[in-house]
Amino acid sequence: MKKMNRLLFGMLLVGSMLFVGCNKDTTNDTAISFAGDTGFTATDATVTAGGAFTVKWTATSSTNMGYFSILKDGSAYDVWSQKEIPNASKSTYIDQVTITVPLTTGTYTYAFVVFDNSKVELARKSIVITVAAAGTINSYTDKIIGGSGNATIGSSFASADGTIYLLAAAKTNSSKIDFIYFYGDVNLATLAAPSDVDVATVFTGTNGISTWSVKNATKIQKVSIDFTSITTPAGIPDVSSTGASKVNNLAIGDVLAFQTASTSSNANKKGLIKVTAITTGSNDSGSITIQVKVAQ
C-alpha cells in the first residue's frame, strides 16, 4: 500500500510539473505593420513592369528581434537575407525599402519576415504585386509653342495628340490643355499648368484662363534623366505628389516630368518634356521648341 501511495504521489508530482510547464507564458506578440502614407505600398498592388514600389514597416515585439528578411517568392531579395536588426531597434524596428519589380509580367509575393536572435521566425507579412505590361509611349518632336503675345503660334499644348491651340480654340477645348507656355519678366521661359495663378494673370481677356470651364492642374517638375533612353512609361518619374504647377527659368536641354490631371482628356498620364530651343520677342511673341513623350 505504501509503495502504491508513493507511486501515486510521484505521478501526481510529475503531472503537476508538466501542467506548470505547459502553462508557462510562451506568447509570441511580434507583429509587422505597413505604413499606408502617400508614396508607400501597404496592400496588394499592380506595378508596371520595370517600375518600383516602396514599403515602410514597423515591427514590434516583447521578444528581442534579431534579424529581418525580405523574400520574393520564397527567395531572399537583394541584401535582405536575415539582415541584423540594430541593437537600438530590438523591440521596435522601423525601416523601408524601394523594390524594383521584374520586367516579366506576372504575380510575385514579397514576404517581410522578422526573426529572433536565434534566427527563429517570429512573424511575417506579405504583399502580392501584379506586374503589368509596361505599355507604350506617344512621342511628339519639334513642337513649337508660342508665347502669350504670339499671334500665329498657340501657347496651349494637349498631350493626348500633341495639338497646339491658340487661346480662343484652347478655351473651347480647355479639358485637353495640359500645359501652357509664356515668357515673363520674372519667370522667364515658363511651362505651367492651366490652373497656375501666374497663367491667369498672363492670359486674360475674352478667352482668358479665368473664363475656361476646365483648368487642368497638371504637375510639372524638372528632373535629371536621359530623355532619349526612355522608351516605356515605367522609365518616367512619377511627380504626381512632388510636382508644382509650373517650372520657370527654363533653358535649352532641360528635361521636365509631368503628370496630367484627373480632369484632363488625357487623364492621369505621365510624360516627359525636353526643351530644344527658346526664342524671345517683344510682348512675349517668341516661342519654345520641345519634344514630348507621354504614356498612352
Q: Which fold would CATH assign to domain 31-132?
A: Immunoglobulin-like (2.60.40)
Contact between 59 and 92 (Cβ < 8 Å): yes
> For position 28, what pLDDT does the model report?
86
Residues 252-272 have pLDDT tens digits of 999 999 999 999 999 999 999
Write phi, then psi, for 283 (nearest 5 degrees): 55, 35
Instruction: Please report, for the chain, the start and end positions of each structural domain, with discontinuous segments joined by +.
Output: 31-132, 137-295
**pTM for the model:** 0.60
Q: Please work out, in degrees rounded to the nearest 5, the angle formed at the alpha carbon of residue 226 by the alpha carbons of 225 and 228.
A: 140
Mean pLDDT for the chain?
90
- Tell whether the model's pLDDT for residue 41 goes beyond 50: yes
According to DSSP, the residues that pair with 257 across neighbouring strands are 221, 272
Q: Count Cβ atoms within 10 A of the Cβ of residue 239 and give its class: 0-12 exposed, 13-18 middle, 19 or more buried.
A: buried
Grid coordinates representing 6 are 508513493
Q: What is the pLDDT confidence band of residue 17, given thresholds at 50, 70 and 90? A: very low
Q: If you search the block for the grid coordinates 506579405, which residue do you land on? A: 126
> For position 154, what pLDDT does the model report?
97
Residues 191-221 have pLDDT tens digits of 999 999 999 999 999 999 999 999 999 999 9
> For position 135, what pLDDT does the model report?
80
Q: What is the pLDDT confidence band of residue 296, given thresholds at 50, 70 and 90? A: confident
Residues 51-107 have pLDDT tens digits of 889 999 999 999 999 999 999 999 999 999 999 999 999 999 999 999 999 878 899
Strands of the chain, DSSP E = 31-34, 45-48, 52-60, 65-72, 75-76, 83-84, 92-100, 106-116, 121-132, 137-146, 156-157, 164-165, 179-184, 188-192, 219-223, 246-247, 255-259, 270-279, 287-295
Gyration radius of the chain's alpha carbons = 30
Residue 260: CA atoms inside 13 Å, Cβ hemisphere, count? Answer: 25
- CA–CA distance, 273 with 172 (Å, rounded to integer): 24
- Tell whether the model's pLDDT for residue 29 goes beyond 50: yes
